[in-house]
Amino acid sequence: MARGGGGGCCPSMDLMRSEAMQLVQVIIPAESTHLTVSYLGDLGLLQFKDLNAEKSPFQRTYAAQIKRCSEMARKLRFFKEQMSKADITTSPAQLNETHLDFDDLEIKLGELEAELTEVNANNEKLQRTYSELLEYHTVLQKAGEFFYSAQRTAAAQQREVEANQSGQTSLESPLLEQEVSTDPSKQVKLGSLSGLVPKEKAMAFERILFRATRGNIFLRQEPVDEPVTDPVSGEKVTKNAFVIFYSGERAKTKILKICDAFNANRYPFPEDVSKQLHAVQEVSAKISELKATIDMGLAHRDSILKNIASDFEQWNHLAKKEKAIYHTLNMLSVDVTKKCLVAEGWSPVFASVQIQDALQRATVDSKSQVGSIFQVLNTKESPPTYFQTNKFTTAFQEIVDAYGVAKYQEANPGVFTIVTFPFLFAVMFGDWGHGICLLLATLYLIIREKKLASQKLGDIMEMMYGGRYVILMMAIFSIYTGLIYNEFFSVPFGLFGKSAYECRDPSCSDATTDGLIKVRDAYPFGVDPVWYGSRSELPFLNSLKMKMSILLGVAQMNLGIVISYFNAKFFRNSLNVWYQFIPQLIFLNSLFGYLSLLIIIKWCTGSKADLYHVMIYMFLSPTDELGENQLFSGQKTVQLVLLLLALVSVPWMLIPKPLLLKKQHQQRHQGHQYAMLQGTDESVGAELGEHREDTHDHEEFEFSEVFVHQLIHTIEFVLGAVSNTASYLRLWALSLAHSELSTVFYDKVLLTAWGLNNVFALILGGIVFVFATVGVLLVMETLSAFLHALRLHWVEFQNKFYEGDGYKFAPFSFALIGEEED
């Protein structure tokens, strides 16, 4: 029976931290190892450690079984290729209906491969013979036409010669006529060769023949009407039929070699007409017989493949499963008695009970007399990171993991990314018309997700399908920010009421805010539509979006610093709280937190103070009077205090932490000097010596290295506070670019086409507008905003608290078995 191991039975509810992990050891009796590993693979909650890392794959215990599994996988790939060629689809796997033994499957696959190979070999031979007979039939027809035409021409010329009583031979008369007109004692017997040559080689074939025989041949070619199947390659090839007349064996030898070089297939052609007819009939009969035989062979092959297809998925799953099991068994250590195997691995604490249940079931089902032993080991190794995700949160977690996997139980940025990533994207992409287009495209992927999951998608569609819920959140937030910006394909709408401003008189309607008077309360939600089309549109929206970008950036960077506090508290690192979190928070907010406060005060009071001037002279001339740039009483004193705090926080970050680390190291190792006891066994002494060396290596403290590291960290934060804040201005820049591009497409394309009062121009303009909107704004701009939001999270946000130097929990699970690549 399994024993040992504690822990809960349910996952942790702390979303910010990875699951608590434990290093466990399982001692499995030899007779139940295979079934135990199989049950653990079904459970999928144990990541095995390789206890045989020093051994090569060929030296491991189960190398032979893995080789057998690889051979079975090769046979299954062969079957899949054959089914693909025959256009036969596999049936869905029915994994629970029947249980097929691994050895039986190996024998069955071998028999099926041998049978299918034999059937394919016979079919190939028959198909080659069939193609040769078709070519022979074509040659008989074409060569017969040559001879018939030559005989008819020769007979006509003979009659003409006899009529003219002329013994001269025309240069244009054929060889057959010359044979008839010459003295029988001087006639030369001509040989002939016939066959087919590829059409693209026909001209070169003719030239080489002429040169090789010095013109002492007669060649006749004619293209075949339809492409024929080449017996050697099995491909459809356009060919020419040819007949060559030659004299002498030497010429014949040359012609045969040239035919072989040009892949010209030769076929015998009888000169006697009766034999020609007999050959045609015989070949036609053989073609009919072979066609029937080939059809029967293909039917038999399809029958075999259909039988394979019905069980293919089950066999494939079993072969992959067995290979995975034996790979895992090779990671286990064999006990010296060879009666049990020892496994070590990482598992979540909550999975202890489930793992023990699986071990107990394996013991019972394998009828083992000895149960597996389960125990938790103490270790200083860093455990893997395991976040439980679902189909909604997986894509957001992948965004974080692409930068780096969180250290064990480090705060997980993925929780915040679910909201902040699509929101920052939407700040740059804000247009509720474009947002609706994205939403409709995403809803299609979500509604059909079950059907799409079973289909093979292209690379781009696969990426969109995997990130469908990220795109959904991006679309929803884009609609929200688009309503705030009051832009629908760049067109403003008064959805939430009337504008707060009206014209004083008709003269103010010419795209200007001069002459506008405020007649009612401010527009309730978003930007007042009266700003669009006015002369103040660009300055107003620029100022709004730039200041909003700074506020959002400072807020997110402060969130990152606050998370670093929770990390320090969780890991009980008080030094990071007092000498990292506090000075960083003071420095950032003394400068850019103060700037954010000035922006809010300016918005609330309507002041015309120049914030650039305030921030610049806060450093250059902190004691000067602010004059018209003063936003509140006592501002000068506040600025002096904040500047002093910012200056103090830099050495606060730099100096104390390395000194305190050195002091802690000295206190921890004070008096920890060990001496060997007399009479100690040498092996024990060697182990103690090794332990002391390892301890010394791990605990060695280099003050200069620590100080330089802290100096780099401090400089990086101080400079980064400025550059990161400036980096958030990309929110303003991309939002402005998106809005202006949308306006250009609407004004210069759609409205221009509408103003021409021409139906054709309107249709053309509408098509150009749609393609420009989709191609530029919905594809390129979406990708651009996505990448910039990604950078803001990876660099500006995560570098405040996220180390990302962990490694993923990769359990042994049959559910994760994908396509194997050998």
pLDDT at 270: 83
In a domain, 462, yes or no: yes
In a domain, 36, yes or no: yes
Q: Which of 236, 258, 284 is the last residue of a domain?
A: 284
Render pLDDT for 17-43 as a digit per residue (tens, 0 to 9): 999 999 999 999 999 999 999 999 999
Do residue 354 and residue 480 come from a single domain?
no
- Mean pLDDT within 173-179: 46
What percent of the chain lies above the pLDDT cut of 90?
59
Total Cβ atoms within 10 A of residue 432: 25
pLDDT at 184: 52
pLDDT at 506: 60
Mean of the per-residue pLDDT values for the chain? 86
Highest mean pLDDT among 590-599, 615-624, 692-701, 810-819: 590-599
Do residue 371 and residue 477 come from a single domain?
no
In a domain, 676, yes or no: no
The three-state DSSP-derived secondary structure of 326-341 is HHHHCCCEECCCCCEE
Reply yes or no on whether the pLDDT at 72 is more than 60. yes
The contacts of residue 197 (CB under 8 Å, 6+ apart) are: 205, 221, 239, 240, 242, 259, 262, 263, 264
Confidence of residue 8 (pLDDT cuts 50, 70, 90): very low
Reply yes or no on whether the pLDDT at 693 is more than 50. no
In a domain, 138, yes or no: yes
Q: Which of 284, 309, 324 is the last residue of a domain?
A: 284
Do residue 369 and residue 448 come from a single domain?
no
d(C-alpha 616, C-alpha 620), whole Å: 6
pLDDT at 138: 85
What percent of the chain lies above the pLDDT cut of 70?
88
Lowest-confidence pick of 135-149, 489-503, 548-562, 631-645: 135-149
- Mean pLDDT within 383-387: 96
Per-residue DSSP letter, 527: S
Confidence of residue 93 (pLDDT cuts 50, 70, 90): low
Confidence of residue 562 (pLDDT cuts 50, 70, 90): very high
| Ramachandran category for residue 757: left, alpha or beta (phi over 0 → left; psi -120 to 50 → alpha) | left
Instruction: Specify the number of domains making up the chain.
Output: 3
Residue 737, judged by CB atoms within 10 A of its CB (0-12, 13-18, 19+), counts as: middle
User: Domain of 273: which CATH number?
Assistant: 3.30.70.2750
Render pLDDT for 506-557 as a digit per residue (tens, 0 to 9): 655 544 555 578 888 889 999 999 888 888 888 899 999 999 999 999 999 9
Q: Residue 687 corresponds to which tokens in the numbers above?
A: 């182990």
Do residue 364 and residue 403 come from a single domain?
no
- Mean pLDDT within 64-76: 94
Cα angle 108-111-112, degrees, rounded to a multiple of 5: 85
Which of residues 241 and 97 earns the better pLDDT score? 241
Tell me which residue of 806, 737, 735, 731 sits closest to 556, measured CA to CA. 731
pLDDT at 183: 52
Q: Residue 3 corresponds to which tokens in the numbers above?
A: 């024993």
Coil vs helix vs strand at 373: strand
> Alpha-carbon torsion 175, 177, 180, 182, what sign?
negative
d(C-alpha 408, C-alpha 384), whole Å: 6
Confidence of residue 150 (pLDDT cuts 50, 70, 90): low
CB burial readout 232-259, b (16+ within 10 A) else e: eeeeebebbbbbbbbbeeebbebbeebb
Reply yes or no on whether the pLDDT at 688 is more than 80. no
What residues form DSSP beta bridges with 501?
518
pLDDT at 232: 83
Confidence of residue 179 (pLDDT cuts 50, 70, 90): very low
Q: Is the separation of the CB atoms in 373 and 5 below 8 Å? A: no
**Ranges of H-type helices in 745-822:** 752-755, 759-772, 781-791
Lowest-confidence pick of 301-305, 530-534, 621-625: 530-534
Number of residues that make up the chain: 822
DSSP per-residue letters across 31-54: GGHHHHHHHHHHHT--EE--TTTT
In a domain, 413, yes or no: yes
Render pLDDT for 408-452 as a digit per residue (tens, 0 to 9): 999 999 999 999 999 999 999 999 999 999 999 999 999 999 888
Coil vs helix vs strand at 155: helix
Render pLDDT for 338-358 as a digit per residue (tens, 0 to 9): 789 999 999 999 999 999 999
Q: Residue 629 corresponds to which tokens in the numbers above?
A: 């740039």
Do residue 738 and residue 635 come from a single domain?
yes
pLDDT at 193: 87
Confidence of residue 684 (pLDDT cuts 50, 70, 90): very low
Confidence of residue 565 (pLDDT cuts 50, 70, 90): very high
Render pLDDT for 663-683 as a digit per residue (tens, 0 to 9): 988 888 775 554 444 444 444
Do residue 570 and residue 525 come from a single domain?
yes
Q: How far is CA 63 from CA 38, 69, 250, 327, 328, in A?
A: 18, 10, 62, 8, 11
Instruction: Give the structural domain span for 346.
Output: 17-51+340-384+809-816
d(C-alpha 557, C-alpha 578), whole Å: 18
CB burial readout 596-623, b (16+ within 10 A) else e: bbbbeebeeeebebebeebeebbeeeee
Do residue 360 and residue 417 come from a single domain?
no
| CA 375 to chain CA mean position, Å | 39
Confidence of residue 505 (pLDDT cuts 50, 70, 90): low
In a domain, 757, yes or no: yes
Q: Residue 535 corresponds to which tokens in the numbers above?
A: 């002369």
For 31, list phi and psi in degrees, rounded to 5.
Answer: -75, -15
Do residue 347 and residue 428 come from a single domain?
no
Cα separation of the two ends of the chain: 39
Q: Is the separation of the CB atoms in 765 and 749 below 8 Å? A: yes
Confidence of residue 217 (pLDDT cuts 50, 70, 90): confident
**Residue whose tokens read 């499995």:** 28
Do residue 649 and residue 778 come from a single domain?
yes
pLDDT at 3: 39
Q: How far is CA 463 from CA 459, 469, 471, in A?
A: 6, 12, 11
User: Domain of 361: which CATH number?
Assistant: 3.30.70
pLDDT at 272: 74
Confidence of residue 176 (pLDDT cuts 50, 70, 90): very low
pLDDT at 249: 86
Do residue 348 and residue 417 come from a single domain?
no
**Ranges of H-type helices in 86-216:** 102-164, 175-181, 202-212
pLDDT at 680: 40
In a domain, 783, yes or no: yes
Reply yes or no on whether the pLDDT at 641 is more than 50. yes
pLDDT at 186: 53
In a domain, 93, yes or no: no
Do residue 376 and residue 397 come from a single domain?
no
Per-residue DSSP letter, 227: -
**Ranges of H-type helices in 448-527:** 449-453, 459-466, 468-485
Do residue 401 and residue 373 come from a single domain?
no
Reply yes or no on whether the pLDDT at 587 is more than 80. yes
pLDDT at 590: 96
pTM above 0.95, yes or no: no
pLDDT at 177: 45
Q: Alpha-carbon Rg of the chain, whole angstroms?
A: 43
d(C-alpha 11, C-alpha 22), whole Å: 13
Render pLDDT for 739-797 as a digit per residue (tens, 0 to 9): 999 999 999 999 999 888 889 999 999 999 999 999 999 999 999 999 999 999 999 99
